[in-house]
Amino acid sequence: MANGAQDISGLVASIVVNLLDYPEDLSVSASDEEDGSIYVEIHVNEEDAGHVIGRQGRIIKAIRTLARAASKDGRPVEVEIVD
């Protein structure tokens, strides 16, 4: 995992941990994809998934926007919640 991917995953983790009832279940991983983009996976307790998604997906959209803005070299960033 490149330094940029680590920075993005750290940012996402620091945002998401404050939304959770079960922060000990949080796991954020990032990987560099073949097309040059960064793929971030968020794993949370199933009871916390709704907190991360938010009403009408507003919170996850905001997290995605922040992650894309934090990409220093302009690489595309995808953030997904994985069950």
**CATH classification of the domain holding 26:** 3.30.300.20
Q: Which residue has the tokens 């993005």?
A: 8
CB atoms within 10 A of CB 19: 17
Q: Total structural domains in the chain?
A: 1
Pairing of strands 77-82, 27-32: unpaired
pLDDT band of 74, cuts 50, 70, 90: confident
Q: What is the mean pLDDT of residues 47-70?
A: 96
pLDDT at 1: 53
The distance of Cα 7 from the centroid of its chain, to the nearest Å, equals 11
Instruction: Give the ranges where 1-83 is alpha helix by DSSP (H).
Output: 3-16, 49-53, 58-70
pLDDT at 28: 97
State the chain's mean pLDDT as an integer.
93
Tell me the residue range of the domain where 7 lies. Answer: 3-82
pLDDT at 69: 94
Residue 13 has pLDDT above 90, yes or no: yes
Residue 2 has pLDDT above 70, yes or no: no
